[in-house]
Amino acid sequence: MATLQSIRSKGPLLVIVIGLALFAFIAGDAWKVLQPHQGRQDVGEVNGEKLSAQEYQQMVDEFSEVIKLTNGLNSLGEDDLNRIKDQVWNTYVTNQLIANEAEKLGLKVTDKELQAIIDEGTNPLLMQTPFRNPQTGAFDKDMLKKFLVEYANLSSSQMPAQYVEYYQKMGNFWKFVEKTLKESTLASKYQNLIAKSLISNPVAAEDAFKGRTAQSDLLLAGVPYASISDSTITVSDSEIKDLYNERKESYKQPVETRDIQFIDVHVVPSDADRAAVLQEATEYSNQLDKTTSDYAAFIRSTGSAVNYADFAINKTSLPQDVVARLDSTSINEVYGPYYNQSDDSYNAFKILAKATAPDSIQFRQIQVMADTEDKRIALADSIFDAIKGGADFAEIAKAYGQTGEAAWVDARNWEGAALDAENTTYIKTLINQPVNELKNLQLGQVNLILQVMNKKAMKPKYQVAIIKLPIEFSKETYSDAYNKFSQFVAQNTTLEDMKKNAEEAGYTVIPRSDFRSDEHYVGGIRSTQDALRWIFDAKEGEVSPLYECGENDHMMVVGLEAINKKGYVNINKVANVLKAEIIRDKKAEQLMSQMQGFNSLDQVKGMNDAVSDSVKHVTFGAPAYISVTHASEPAISAYASKAEVNKISAPIKGNAGVYMIQAYAKDNGTEEFDAKKEETSLSSMAPRYADQCIYELREKAKVTDQRYLYF
């Protein structure tokens, strides 16, 4: 029990009520949407090893709980969950690939190695656990050991059910940490093995040093490719095909994708909707003027987007539009209704009080629980009387399995939050209770023997009742938009018809190429999982049903234009890019031919549309930037490193034109060559190459990702 109380004392609001403390762990199963789809039960496969939907769901749920615990969250948003799903999948794939390679090489992580990492306590993952020394913040292995002993004896303990469940959640969290430590350590071993096999040498070190320090100052002249019209260049299909075959490996597509065209209808409030919200805000502001008590119930009844706090809070916790009007409003005066453009809302507010209150409060408490309410009240009264009579607070706390340690809590933990009645009572008690005064506070099924030890950072604060009504569309507005769009979808059942008739109907068709199944959203719109699944099950030319999506404010229809199989990209999709490169090369040939035999920059300057410039401090290690053509030119850096002073170069084919250069000064710099230092610098690049090896493993592996079936 002592370990549990020590852990629980770390979070400010975590210690308010036992039910609140547990909420971060049991509030909601973050992701319960996995369902079999068309008889298929697997979300993916790595080199023949299948991952079932149930296993994947378990991993996602497990990691979701870890994220909530380590970040002090009660729930996760849709975007957070999608990131978690991707991270879980990518980690699974990487671990599978590394485990396979490690087995071939005889690499493993023993239990003894794992224990040594825990004993050392410096691994960053350990620093994310609650098992940390309260004074130093460092990982405390003794705290962990005590917890594990208590966890092992959980079945024979007599602790309340809430504590048992908390221990079980914490035990699952530690199992996740151990598993992750083992996997990450194996990955580090594999990557280190690769990194250590990449060694530098004196020759490479000297080249790297010269490439970084040897500088050239140049004069240049050239002719941009833009000076030649593209229409004067002829490119044949065979030339495009030849270049495609030459560059084919760079056009490799690792996963299957789709080319789609879709219409997204965003439903917005009508003028009538806006007028209705203004009328509602006006009526509420009149009622607010007459209200003198139970503001919490009144504000809740208005559906205000701003939570009511029954105590004074910082300006920073109030909406900016309210803050801007506070100084021009008196206490008990209603300001509004008024329109706020930044969040498209009608508003009114009433300042109920101004006060000076602490931003930080130090307190200690003893939680009192018992089998019955009468026993709990009697026990709480007994503890309260004993401490009032001079008994030691900390000693009594220890007698009930708690530390009784003082903890600081900051106002930002409650200001702006949605608090129920019990939490509001608790916070008001902390704010208003005099320092060193003892209080026996009943909250639900727990009593708290509470003592405020200190208050600091006293600031002016405001208690404000705020009515904020976002302007939203009505059911009638949505129904009208739905009926119109559904009629369009029913009349245009092919992609060609959809594209041909959309503009006349007032809709815009949005093209999207190479859409992947792991993108979660179609067109960046939330709740488009059904549309995503349709896209990867449909045939070319088909049009989807109408999907209602977003935050219940979007409708969508999708047409499937093309299926792009895994492998090499179709030449037609890259033909324009290849053609542009061939045109550039042919322009370069023309210009280089015209410059053939030139022996001065003046001759280049005499050409049509020629440009000239001077460039200083050009090194081999960095591409030269040519301001007159607005281009980065690595070729000029390479030529400059070998150029002799005052000697004219041959024509140089660049990215934006053809140039000739003349170096007029060279400088090797003042830095002394240190072979050891340069070799060390080159060796530091090895981990990056090791990471690239992991990427190569994935590219060559047989990885199938069909998680979209279960999003």
Greater pLDDT, 407 or 340: 340
- What average pLDDT does this structure show over 582-605? 96
Model confidence at 417, pLDDT cuts 50, 70, 90, reads confident
Task: Say what the pLDDT of residue 17 is.
Answer: 29
Pair of tokens at residue 80: 């957070």
The lowest-confidence range among 390-399, 475-484, 525-534 is 390-399
Greater pLDDT, 264 or 200: 264
- What average pLDDT does this structure show over 145-155? 81
- What average pLDDT does this structure show over 438-449? 90
Greater pLDDT, 371 or 245: 245
The lowest-confidence range among 12-21, 515-524, 558-567 is 12-21
- What average pLDDT does this structure show over 451-468? 94
Q: Is 505 left (phi over 0), alpha (psi -120 to 50) or beta?
A: alpha
State how far the Cα of 420 lies from the Cα of 431, in Å rounded to an integer.
17
State how far the Cα of 550 lies from the Cα of 547, in Å rounded to an integer.
10
The lowest-confidence range among 122-126, 515-519, 674-678 is 674-678
Spatial CA neighbour of 653 closest among 243, 222, 219, 211: 222
Task: Say what the pLDDT of residue 676 is.
Answer: 82
Task: Say what the pLDDT of residue 692 is.
Answer: 80
Q: What is the pLDDT of residues 299-324, one digit of tens each?
A: 999 999 998 999 999 998 999 999 99
Task: Say what the pLDDT of residue 147 is.
Answer: 86
Greater pLDDT, 678 or 533: 533
Model confidence at 163, pLDDT cuts 50, 70, 90, reads low
pLDDT at 4 over 50: no
State how far the Cα of 585 lies from the Cα of 230, in Å rounded to an integer.
12
Task: Say what the pLDDT of residue 9 is.
Answer: 40
Model confidence at 156, pLDDT cuts 50, 70, 90, reads low
**Residue 89 and residue 44 in contact, taking contact as beta carbons nearer than 8 Å:** yes
**Residue 221 and residue 610 in contact, taking contact as beta carbons nearer than 8 Å:** yes
Spatial CA neighbour of 95 closest among 671, 621, 698: 698
Pair of tokens at residue 396: 């009594």
Greater pLDDT, 653 or 402: 653
Task: Say what the pLDDT of residue 72 is.
Answer: 75
Task: Say what the pLDDT of residue 30 is.
Answer: 33
pLDDT at 669 over 90: no
Mean pLDDT (the chain) is 88
pLDDT at 35 over 70: no
Between strands 42-46 and 49-52, the pairing is: antiparallel
Task: Say what the pLDDT of residue 3 is.
Answer: 42
Q: What is the pLDDT of residues 83-106, one digit of tens each?
A: 999 999 999 999 999 999 999 999
Pair of tokens at residue 377: 């009240």
Task: Say what the pLDDT of residue 164 is.
Answer: 73
Task: Say what the pLDDT of residue 587 is.
Answer: 97
The dihedral through the CA atoms of 81, 58, 257, 40 has a sign that is negative
Q: What is the pLDDT of residues 596-632, one digit of tens each?
A: 999 999 999 999 999 999 999 999 989 999 999 999 9
Greater pLDDT, 262 or 689: 262
- What average pLDDT does this structure show over 2-14? 39
Task: Say what the pLDDT of residue 12 is.
Answer: 32
Q: How many CA atoms lie within 13 A of 474 on its CB side?
A: 11
Task: Say what the pLDDT of residue 161 is.
Answer: 63
Site of tokens 């179609």: 522
**Residue 363 and residue 430 in contact, taking contact as beta carbons nearer than 8 Å:** yes
Task: Say what the pLDDT of residue 25 is.
Answer: 30
Own/partner pairs for 285-291, CB < 8 Å, 24+ apart? Answer: 285/334, 285/336, 285/337, 285/348, 285/467, 288/334, 288/348, 288/350, 288/465, 288/467, 289/334, 289/350, 291/350, 291/465
pLDDT at 294 over 60: yes
Site of tokens 């009660």: 74
pTM for the whole thing? 0.75
Model confidence at 157, pLDDT cuts 50, 70, 90, reads low
The dihedral through the CA atoms of 684, 685, 686, 690 has a sign that is positive
State how far the Cα of 212 lies from the Cα of 570, in Å rounded to an integer.
41
Between strands 42-46 and 438-443, the pairing is: unpaired
